[in-house]
C-alpha cells in the first residue's frame, strides 16, 4: 500500500494547492465586494475566508475535478476554478452544523458562531452574545451557500452543462438537509436503526462527499446519463466505505495519525454502524457497559478499551472491515470497466484503495 | 386612486392564485420525495409547505412574472412555474430571520422553530427543546433555499437564460446577507446612520423584493443589459418607496387595514428613516421621549401618540411622504419611457402608484 498511499498523497497535495489558491482569490474578491457596502459585512467575509482556508482535505473539489477528467482534459483551469463551489458549500454546511452541534472548535480553531460571540462580548457586551454569534453564523452560512452557487453559475462552461451542474448542486444540498433532519431527530429520539444509519451515510457522506462532486465535474464536461451512473456505482459504495472506515478509525485509529483524541466518538455518543452492530450482538452485561460509556463525557481510557473489546468480540469490527473492503472493491470494479480516460480512472482507483486502507 | 387600486388588487389576486397552485404542486412532490427517505424529513417538508402557503402577497414571484412579460408573452405557464423560486427563497430567509429575531409568530401562526420546539417538548421532552427547534429550522431554511435553486435550474427556458437567472438568484441571496449583517450589527451596536438605513433598504428590500425578481423574470425572457438597467431604474427607487411607506404605515397606518397592531415598530425599537430623521431634528426633551418609547415593550398608547406628534412636528413625516412620492414617480418615469410591452408596463405603473399610495 505504501506506493499507492504516496501517489495519492502527492495527487491530493497537487490539487489542494491549486484549489486553495482559487479559494483565496475568490474570497479576496468577495472581501472587496463586501467592503464596498460597509465594514461589518467586510469583516464577516474575512471571517468566512479564514474559516474555509484554515484546513480541510478538499476532497469534494478534488472529486469534482476528477469527475471532469474522466471525460476530458481540456480547460483544466476552468474546472479547478469551478470546483471551489463544492468547498464553499461544505463551508456553508459546516458553519451551520457547528451551531446545531454547539461545537466550539472546528479544525483546531474557534467555530464561526463562537468567534462572533466573543467579538460581541468584546465590542457590545455579554448580553445575548451567543444569540448574536449564532445569528451572524446563520447569515454567514447562507452567504457561503450563495457563493458556491455563484461560482458555478458564472463558470465558463457551456450553459447546458452549467444548468445541469446547478441542478445537481441543489440536489446535494437537499440530500444533506434530508439526512441531517433524519440524523438530528433520531439522535434526539435516541434510537437509530441500521437502516437509518445507512440512509444518513448515503445522504450525508456518499452523495455529498463523493458521488455529487463527481457528477458536477462530469456534467461540466458534458456527461450523459450512462457516465453519471458509472460514477454513482463508484461514488455511493466508496462513500459508505469512507464513512465506516471513519467510524473504525474513530475507535481504533492512532491518535497521532488522526490528529484528534481517539474515543471522542464514544464520548460524543456517536451512533455508528460499528456500535449498533455490537449492541445487537452483545450480552446484557456488555450492553450495559456500552450504554454507560456512550455519550459519557467523562468516559475513562479503560471504559473505551472495554468498548473496543466488545466491538471486537461481537465480530462487529470484522463485519465493518469486511464491509469497507467489499464496498471499496465494488467502487474499484465499477470504475475499472468504464471507458473513462485512463489517468482519471487510475486516480479514482488509487483514491478508493487509499480510502479503504487509510489510517487517518 | 380607487380604480387603480381595484385593478392592482385583481391583478395581484389573479397571479396569487396561480402562484399558490404551483407552490402547492411543488411541495406535494417534495413531500413525496422526502417520504421516500423517512418520516422525519417528510414531516419537516410538510411543515415548510404549511409555512410557505399560510399567507404572503407573493410580490416577488409577481415581479418576476412581470419582468418576463416586459419582453414576451410566450410560454406564460413556464414563467409562473419558475417564479415560485423567489417565494421559496423568501420562505427560506423568513425561517432563518424568525430564529435570529426570536420571533414566535409569523403571519399569525407559530414560527418554524417554535413549531419544532413544541413538537420536541411533546415527543422528546423539554430539555434543549429550543435548540432542537432552531436546528430543524436552520436545516429547513437551507432546504427551502435549495428548492428555490432547483426550480430555476430545472426550468424549461434556454440554458443561457437560466444560467444568468441563477447567477442573479445567488446575487440576491448575497445582497440580503450583506444587508442582514449590517442590520444586526448596527442594531446591536445601537447606532444607525441615515446611510446605513438606506443601504439596508436597498439590499434587503429594493434588490430583494423588486429589482432582483424583475431581473430574473426578464433574464428568463432573454433580457440584455439595457433591459436590466431600465428595470433597476424602476425597481430600486420603488423598493425604497415601498420600505419607507411601510415605515409610515407602521406608525400612522390603520390597524384594521394593516392587520397588525400599529405602534409595534415603536415597541420593537425598529430603526426607520422616519424616526432617524425626527431624532436629528427634535429638541432635547423630545429626544428623551422618543428614546424612552423606542424598544419599550410596555409603551403606552399615549407615548405612541407622542412619537407620532414629534415625527410630524419635526417635518419627518412630510419628508418621508415626499420621498415616497418622488421615488415612486422616478420608478414610473423609468418604465414609461421604456419600449417594453404595453400590458406589462401598465401593470408595473399601476403597482408603483399602488405602492406609493397604499394604506396597508
pLDDT in tens, B170-185: 999 999 999 999 999 9
| Rounded-to-integer distance, Cα A97 and Cα B38, Å | 21
Predicted confidence band at B270 (pLDDT cuts at 50, 70, 90)?
confident
Closest C-alpha to B260, from B274, B246, B242, B272:
B246
The pLDDT confidence band at residue A2, using thresholds 50, 70 and 90, is very low
CB contact under 8 A, B142 and A177: yes
Radius of gyration of chain A (CA): 21
How close does chain A come to B193, measured CA to CA in Å? 12
pLDDT at B243 over 50: yes
User: What integer pLDDT is reported at residue A191 of this predicted model?
Assistant: 80
Percentage of the residues of chain A whose pLDDT score is greater than 70:
96
Q: How far apart are CA B65 and CA A156, in angstroms?
A: 28
Is A118 contained in some domain?
Answer: yes
For residue B37, the 8-state DSSP code is: T
Asked whether the predicted pLDDT for residue A100 surpasses 60, the reply is yes
Q: How many CB atoms lie within 10 A of CB A46?
A: 16
Identify the H or E element spanning A109: strand A109-110
pLDDT above 90 (res A270): no
Is the pLDDT higher at A187 or at B140? B140
Backbone φ and ψ for A340, nearest 5 degrees, come out as: -70, 170
Task: Look at residues B111, B346, B331, B333 and name the one whose alpha carbon lies nearest to residue B243.
Answer: B331
A181 at B interface, C-beta within 8 A: yes
**Residue B125 falls inside a structural domain:** yes
Residue B320 lies in a domain: no
Report yes or no on B301 lying in a domain. Answer: no
DSSP secondary structure string for all residues of B41-81: HHHHHHHHHHHHHT----HHHHHHHHHHHTT--S-HHHHHH
Longest alpha-carbon distance in chain B: 65
Question: How many other C-beta atoms can be found within 10 angstroms of the C-beta atom of residue B191?
Answer: 9
d(CA A53, CA A21): 10
Contacts of A30 (CB under 8 A, 6+ apart): A45, A48, A49, A147
Contact across the interface for B149 and A143, Cβ inside 8 Å: no
pLDDT classification of B194: cutoffs 50, 70, 90: confident
CA dist., res. A303 & res. A295, Å (int): 12
**Residue A17 in grid coordinates:** 494547492
HSE toward the beta carbon, residue A264, CA cutoff 13 A: 11
Q: Which three cell numbers stand for residue A275?
A: 456500535
Q: What is the DSSP letter of A259?
A: S
Instruction: Domain count for chain A, please give it.
Output: 1
Which residue, among A88, A74, A71, has the nearest Cα to A19 in the 3D structure? Answer: A88
Alpha helices, H only, chain B: 2-35, 39-53, 59-69, 76-101, 112-124, 129-153, 159-189, 194-201, 212-220, 225-252, 255-258, 264-268, 273-281, 284-293, 301-313, 316-336, 342-357
In this prediction, residue A3 has a pLDDT band, given cuts at 50, 70 and 90, of low
Instruction: Name chain A contacts of B149, Cβ cutoff 8 Å.
Output: 149, 166, 169-170, 173
pLDDT at B359: 67
Q: How far is CA B210 from the centre of its chain?
A: 9
Asked if residue A127 belongs to a domain, the reply is: yes
Provide, as residue numbers in chain B, all residues whose Cβ is less than 8 Å from the Cβ of A34: 178
CATH number of residue B109's parent domain: 1.10.600.10
pLDDT-derived band at A4, boundaries 50, 70, 90: low
Q: Which three cell numbers stand for residue A271?
A: 451512533
Minimal CA separation from B223 to chain A, in Å: 16
ipTM of the modeled complex: 0.94
Q: Could you give the CA distance from residue A75 to residue A83 in angstroms, rounded to a whole number?
A: 13
Alpha-carbon distance of B152 to B150, in angstroms, equals 5
CA–CA separation, B112 and B349 (whole Å): 36
Q: Which of B86-100, B261-275, B315-329 shows the lowest per-residue confidence on average (mean pLDDT)?
A: B261-275
If you write DSSP's letter for every residue of B316-348 in order, what string do you get? HHHHHHHHHHHHHHHHHHHHHTS-S-HHHHHHH
Q: Which of residues 217-236 of B touch A (CB under 8 A)?
A: none
Q: What pLDDT, in 10s, does the model give residues A166-222? A: 999 999 999 999 999 999 999 898 888 889 999 999 999 999 999 999 999 999 999
CA A220 – CA A80 distance, rounded (Å): 11
Interface check for B40 against chain A (CB to CB < 8 A): the answer is: yes
pTM: 0.94
What residues contact residue A76 under an 8 Å CB cut-off, 6+ apart?
A: A65, A69
Residue A120 has pLDDT above 60, yes or no: yes
Q: Is A80 on the interface with B (CB under 8 A)?
A: no
Task: Indicate whether B76 belongs to any domain.
Answer: yes
Q: Using an 8 Å CB-CB cutoff, list chain A residues near B171.
A: 146, 150
Beta bridge partners, A109, equal A106
CB A243 within 8 A of CB A354: no
| Mean of pLDDT values over B19-40 | 97
Residue B323: predicted pLDDT: 93
**Tens digit of pLDDT for each residue in B31-66?**
999 999 999 999 999 999 999 999 889 999 999 999
- Averaged pLDDT for residues A324-347: 96
Q: Which helix (H) or strand (E) holds A282?
A: none
Q: Mean pLDDT throughout B129-153?
A: 98
Locate the chain B residue with the closest alpha carbon to A172: B146
The pLDDT of residue B105 is above 80: yes
| pLDDT confidence of residue A56 | 87
Q: Which residues of A touch B169 (CB under 8 A)?
A: 149, 153
pLDDT mean over A261-272: 80
pLDDT at residue B356 in the model: 83
B75 in a structural domain: yes
Which residue of A131, A142, A166 is in closest CB contact with B166?
Answer: A166
**What is the grid cell recorded at A21?**
489558491
pLDDT surpasses 50 at B1? no
Query: Within an 8 Å CB–CB cutoff, is residue A199 touching chain B?
Result: yes
Looking at the complex, report in whole angstroms how far the Cα of residue A355 sits from the nearest Cα belonging to chain B: 27
Percent of chain B with pLDDT over 90: 82
Cβ count near A110 (within 10 Å): 18
Domain span including residue A129: 1-157
* Helix or strand holding residue A359 (H, E): none
Across the interface, which of A37, A100, A141 has its CB nearest the CB of B178? A37
pLDDT band at A243 (very low <50, low <70, confident <90, very high): very high
Lowest-pLDDT range of A60-69, A142-151, A263-272, A313-322: A263-272
Q: State yes or no: pLDDT of B4 exceeds 70.
A: no
Looking at residue A178, what is its pLDDT? 98
Are A265 and A251 in contact by the 8 Å Cβ rule? The answer is yes
Q: Which of B103, B147, B171, B188 to mutate to test the interface with A (most CBs of A within 10 A)?
A: B188
Q: How far apart are CA B356 and CA B320, in angstroms?
A: 11
In a domain? residue A11: yes
pLDDT band with cut points at 50, 70 and 90 for residue B2 = very low
Contact A129, A120 (CB under 8 A): yes
Cα–Cα distance list, B261 to A243, A261, B108, B258 (Å): 53, 55, 12, 8
The answer to whether residue A1 scores a pLDDT higher than 70 is: no
Amino acid at each position: 500500500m505504501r506506493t499507492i498511499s504516496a501517489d495519492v498523497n502527492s495527487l491530493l497535495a497537487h490539487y489542494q494547492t491549486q484549489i486553495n489558491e482559487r479559494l483565496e482569490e475568490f474570497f479576496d474578491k468577495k472581501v472587496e465586494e463586501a467592503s464596498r457596502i460597509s465594514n461589518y459585512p467586510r469583516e464577516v467575509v474575512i471571517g468566512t475566508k479564514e474559516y474555509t482556508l484554515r484546513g480541510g482535505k478538499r476532497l469534494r473539489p478534488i472529486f469534482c475535478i476528477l469527475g471532469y477528467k474522466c471525460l476530458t482534459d481540456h480547460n483544466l483551469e476552468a474546472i479547478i476554478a469551478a470546483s471551489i463551489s463544492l468547498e464553499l458549500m461544505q463551508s456553508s454546511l459546516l458553519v451551520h452544523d457547528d451551531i446545531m452541534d454547539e461545537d466550539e472548535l472546528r479544525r483546531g480553531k474557534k467555530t464561526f458562531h463562537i468567534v462572533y460571540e466573543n467579538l460581541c462580548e468584546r465590542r457590545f457586551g455579554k448580553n445575548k452574545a451567543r444569540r448574536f454569534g449564532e445569528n451572524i453564523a446563520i447569515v454567514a452560512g447562507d452567504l457561503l451557500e450563495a457563493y458556491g452557487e455563484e461560482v458555478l453559475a458564472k463558470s465558463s462552461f457551456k450553459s447546458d452543462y452549467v444548468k445541469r451542474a446547478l441542478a445537481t448542486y441543489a440536489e446535494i444540498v437537499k440530500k444533506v438537509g434530508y439526512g441531517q433532519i433524519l440524523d438530528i431527530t433520531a439522535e434526539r429520539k435516541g434510537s437509530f436503526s441500521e437502516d437509518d444509519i445507512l440512509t444518513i451515510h448515503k445522504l450525508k457522506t456518499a452523495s455529498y462527499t463523493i458521488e455529487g462532486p463527481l457528477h458536477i465535474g462530469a456534467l461540466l464536461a458534458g456527461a450523459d446519463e450512462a457516465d453519471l451512473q458509472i460514477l454513482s456505482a463508484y461514488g455511493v459504495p466508496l462513500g459508505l466505505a469512507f464513512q465506516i472506515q471513519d467510524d473504525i478509525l474513530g475507535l481504533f485509529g492512532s491518535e497521532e495519525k488522526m490528529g484528534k483524541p481517539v474515543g471522542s466518538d464514544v464520548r460524543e455518543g456517536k451512533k455508528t454502524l460499528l456500535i449498533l452492530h455490537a449492541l445487537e450482538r452483545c450480552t446484557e452485561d456488555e450492553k450495559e457497559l456500552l450504554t454507560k460509556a456512550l455519550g459519557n463525557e467523562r468516559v475513562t481510557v479503560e471504559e473505551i478499551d472495554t468498548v473496543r473489546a466488545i466491538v471486537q468480540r461481537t465480530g462487529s469490527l470484522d463485519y465493518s472491515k469486511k464491509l469497507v473492503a467489499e464496498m471499496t472493491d465494488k467502487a474499484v470494479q465499477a470504475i475499472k470497466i468504464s471507458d473513462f480516460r485512463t489517468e482519471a480512472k487510475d486516480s479514482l482507483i488509487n483514491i478508493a484503495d487509499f480510502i479503504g486502507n487509510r489510517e487517518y
